[in-house]
Amino acid sequence: MSQYWSAVVHGLTPYVPGEQPKLANLVKLNTNEHPYGPSPRAIDAIRAEASDALRLYPDPTAERLKNAIAVRHGITPRQVFVGNGSDEVLAHAFMALLKHDRPLRFPDISYSFYPVYCGLYGITFETVALDENLAIRPDDYLPNGDAAGGIIFPNPNAPTGRLLPLADIERIVAGNQQCVVVVDEAYVDFGGESAIALTARYPNLLVVQTFSKSRSLAGLRVGFAVGHPDLIEALDRVKDSFNSYPLDRLAIVGAVAAIEDEEYFERTCNAVIRTREQLIADLASLGFEVLPSAANFVFARHPARDAGELAAELRKQAIIVRHFRQPRIEQFLRITVGTDAQCGALIGALRKILG
Ligand SMILES: *Cc1c(COP(=O)(O)O)cnc(C)c1O
């Protein structure tokens, strides 16, 4: 029935999310979800809101959530935009701030949604190769005669897990004041330093974060951006031309309660960080080369074993990790940091597979 499709749809190459299989006893280490549940206070708040109140539309500006985010990060609510997951926030940023005549730049190995948004919005882009250690070279993002139309990269980068220090982020932002630089901080709470502090000094910097990873609320769909109020207004214009109510009532109250529960957040993220360090040591002892990670996943390859085959062998034992059939990284596995027990099961299975 594709004769009914618009020309735009014919040209789309959609993003393929990591699978969500419905198998019992699965060790699911493929989509970077947090192994510990959300704050109990978030669940209580969602329960309390699941009432007759759902009859009414939510606050279209989610003011309570913007306030809670502003308080936590020492900024004003006018510097905050919230959306239905950071994927939606990013999509609006592509349309509102990154679509220009000159090409958008991002790393060749990065979040694979970026080229998808470019396809959807008709944005031209250039990829910038990571170095031989799969690290971002900040100098490659400084204009060398040919200024970019925009720049976007995750920090820590995905799927490598590598972190760029804040001083390098600042060099890139300061050196590109002709365009917007978006820093996608989906994983920053697992060991990075946020660039939010820089937004006060750089009106061209937009920092995007999510509740999906460090707040363990992937199922609630809440993301946000922080930047100069002029950047936020651009995002609001796109949002109010698309969907006035991206966050429902449950999402607003759940996210507010989660961000207010600082103690739970710190404790569960620290637990993931501790498990990550053990996982890196265990993988290394099995002969894996593991990139340094500041995220809740590790990126590793075995010099003697094909990554696709390892992923298939693990799957037979009901352990799922992510393998990207993509040039330069086809020999790597991206492994989400689970509980100690899940990571122990992974290491046990790999020990058997490797013999
Ligand atoms: C997971 C992820 C996101 C999207 O998160 P949602 O808020 O769940 O939409 C964005 N960027 C990167 C790099 C991610 O890994």
Query: Among 33, 188, 210, 220, which residue has the most ligand 1 atoms within 8 Å of its CB, making it the best to mutate?
Result: 210
Give me the CATH topology for the region 40-261: Aspartate Aminotransferase; domain 2 (3.40.640)
Distance from residue 26's CA to the centre of ligand 1 (Å): 22
pLDDT given for residue 22 in this prediction:
78
* Sites in the chain below the pLDDT cut of 50: none
Helix (H, G, I), strand (E, B) or coil at 221: coil
User: Tokens 């995002």 sit at which residue?
Assistant: 235
Report which ligand 1 atom has the smallest distance to the Cα of 88. 9
- Tell me how far apart the alpha carbons of residues 297 and 15 are, in angstroms, rounded to a whole number: 20
pLDDT given for residue 168 in this prediction:
98
DSSP 170-203: HHHHHTTTTS-EEEE-TTGGGT---GGGGGGT-T
User: Tokens 């009901």 sit at which residue?
Assistant: 318
What's the sign of the alpha-carbon dihedral 137, 139, 140, 142?
positive
Same fold, 2-37+263-354 and 40-261: no
Distance from residue 152's CA to the centre of ligand 1 (Å): 13
pLDDT given for residue 94 in this prediction:
98
pLDDT tens digits, one per residue of 183-213: 999 999 999 999 999 999 999 999 999 999 9
pLDDT given for residue 19 in this prediction:
78
Residue 50's nearest CA partner among 276, 326, 248 is 248
Give me the CATH topology for the region 2-37+263-354: Aspartate Aminotransferase, domain 1 (3.90.1150)
For 247, 259, 267, the CA distances from 39, given in Å and listed in that order, are 19, 9, 11
- Tell me how far apart the alpha carbons of residues 166 and 46 are, in angstroms, rounded to a whole number: 35
pLDDT given for residue 284 in this prediction:
98
Distance from residue 222's CA to the centre of ligand 1 (Å): 10
Report which ligand 1 atom has the smallest distance to the Cα of 86. 7
Helical H segments across 50-147, by residue range = 63-73, 85-97, 113-121
Residue boundaries of the structural domains of the chain: 2-37+263-354, 40-261
Distance from residue 160's CA to the centre of ligand 1 (Å): 14
Distance from residue 124's CA to the centre of ligand 1 (Å): 22
Residue 45's nearest CA partner among 20, 68, 12, 28 is 68
pLDDT given for residue 24 in this prediction:
77
